[in-house]
Amino acid sequence: MRLDIAKKAVAVGLGLTLLAACGGGTEQAADGPVELSFWAWAPNIDKVVDKWNASHPDTKVVFSKQAQGDDLVTKLLTSAKGGNPPDLAQVEYQALPTLVSNDVLADISEGAASAKDKFAPGIWDQVTLGGSGVYAVPQDSGPMMFYYRADLFEQYGLKVPTTWDQYAQTARDLRAKASDKFLGTFSSNDPGWFAGLVQQAGGSWWSVEGDTWTVSVDDAATKKVAQYWSGLIAEGAVDKTPMYTPEWNKALNDGTQIGWLSAVWAPGVLQGNAESTLGKWAMAPMPQWDASAPRTGNWGGSTTAVTAGSKKQKAATEFAVWLNTDPTAVEALVTESAIYPAAISAQEAQAKPPAFFPNQPDFYTQAAKIAATSSGFTWGPNVNVTYTAYKNAMGEAISGGADLVPALTKMQTATVDDMKANGFTVGG
């Protein structure tokens, strides 16, 4: 073991001593515990890491908080090219194929395959990419749900829509009763949200057979979703302000937006952005295309991955599995970082509703039922390109004239062109 560590220390040199300021800590690594560097963004996740460090004196995880998003993927790719990636990183589901195809992530099936039973099959498929390897351990998931202002629904005599037809009708009714209010908005800024809606409608953007990819960003289900929203936007039944902007926050606060198609983590966002509406919201399942076979999509959610460049993959895998399956760890993730855990047992164990929803005591029981209807989805190796194309094309379509369907063709072309340019085989 000692020799092993010394060898690693020589091999990695200064680059790995992440905490030692200005380097110069190589010899210290020879005697101390194994140090694992961990990049993540979940709030307060450092407190969960502290728990691991307290109970595992031989393996010290050094946490470093990063900014979430596509930029972090770029940073991971760059650091892997430079030869000194972190040992562990928080990675969103849709970024896994990108990182795997760039050889950034390690196959940790040896240490992590046994964790399979702890997760719903749809979630587990996302970390195996449908193959025999395991590239990450699921951390949290984001089954989509419908949130609405219960007080305003009552005031305007609206019923909670259970199908998309009803949703459209409710949106129109609301506009007729209160012309300054909207049931929801179509956000050209949030491709993850749109992808969630597409998953619910049964769309499939990527699939892979051997080495040949099939890309169908403009498939029938996606067109159906785009057409539906084009119609609502054209008749002015829904708003077209992007989400997560100051205007949108204001609209949530003052009741201009009385509904939000979001995911299980919405209570935290509402609490942060619309504090004054405490206790006025309620959650319901998504409106359905086919009421007899309820489904939902996922928006958000992330995993803990081990990098291929890490020299301590075994220890890192142990930590990744611990973080997301150990009962104390998952409980701490839920209470400290306010995530919705991917581990099934932890989903069922949540008894109290979120602090922002004191009026809905069975919030998590309902949420677990909805989560069970999540549809699977295969992400491609260049989701970032598709997402950027979404933002550009949808933004243009909305300011242009609101037919969203042609935007899908642009997304499809951009995705396929980029994959071909990067040497993927794309079949018809």
Partner 1 sequence: MSAVLVEDRVVTPTPSRSPRLRSIVSALGALPTFVLLLGAAYCLFPVAWVLIAATKSSGELFSTSTLSLGSSLLANLGELNGYRDGVFWRWMANSALYAGVGALLSAVLSGVTGYALAKYAFRGRALIFNALIAGVLVPAVVLAIPQYLLMSKIGLTDTYLSVLLPSVVSPYGIYLARIYAAASVPEDVVEAARTDGASELRILTSIALPMMVPGLVTVFLFQFVSIWNNFMLPYIMLANDGMFPVTLGLYTMLKQGNTTPALYTLVVTGSLVSVLPLIALFLTLQRYWRIDLLSGAVKA
Tokens of 96: 């896994």
* Contact flag: residue 246 with partner 1 (CB under 8 A): yes
Secondary structure tally for the chain: helices H, strands E: 19, 10
The reply to whether 37 sits near partner 1 by the rule CB under 8 A is: yes
Q: What is the DSSP letter of 183?
A: S
Distance CA 163, CA 7 (A): 61
Q: Which of 33, 236, 268, 294 binds partner 1 (CB under 8 A)?
A: 268
Q: Which of 6, 338, 344, 372 binds partner 1 (CB under 8 A)?
A: 338
Binding partner 1 (rule: CB under 8 A), the pick from 69, 358, 361, 400 is 69
Measured between alpha carbons, how far is 304 from 88 in angstroms, rounded to an integer? 7
Q: Is 314 in the site for partner 1 (CB under 8 A)?
A: no
Residue 401 within binding range of partner 1, rule CB under 8 A: no
Report strand pairing: 212-215 vs 425-426. parallel
Q: Which of these, 215, 266, 233, lies nearest to 381 by C-alpha position?
A: 215
Instruction: Match 């979940």 to its residue by tokens.
Output: 42
**Least distance (Å) from partner 1 to the CB of residue 197?**
14
The C-alpha atoms of residue 373 and residue 323 are separated, in whole angstroms, by 25
CB of 257 vs partner 1, minimal distance in Å: 12
| 273 binds partner 1 per the rule CB under 8 A | yes
Q: Is 339 in the site for partner 1 (CB under 8 A)?
A: yes
Q: Torsion-angle region of residue 301: left (phi > 0), alpha (psi -120 to 50) or beta?
A: left
Count of residues interacting with partner 1 (CB under 8 A): 56
**C-beta closer to partner 1: residue 70 or 396:** 70
Phi, psi (rounded to 5 degrees) for 23: 70, -160
Report the b/e string of 298-311 with b at 16+ CB within 10 A: bbbbbbbbbbbbbb
Q: Is 290 in the site for partner 1 (CB under 8 A)?
A: no
Q: What binding mask, one character per residue, do residues 103-142 give for partner 1 by CB under 8 A, x or -? A: -------------------------------------x-x
Q: Which one of residues 29, 61, 73, 86 is an interface residue with partner 1 (CB under 8 A)?
A: 86
Are 375 and 201 a contacting pair, CB within 8 Å? no
- Residues in contact with partner 1 by the rule CB under 8 A: 13-15, 18-19, 21-23, 37, 39, 41-43, 46, 62, 64-69, 71, 75, 78-79, 81-84, 86, 140, 142, 190, 192, 244, 246, 249-250, 252-254, 263, 265, 268-269, 271-276, 299-300, 302, 338-339
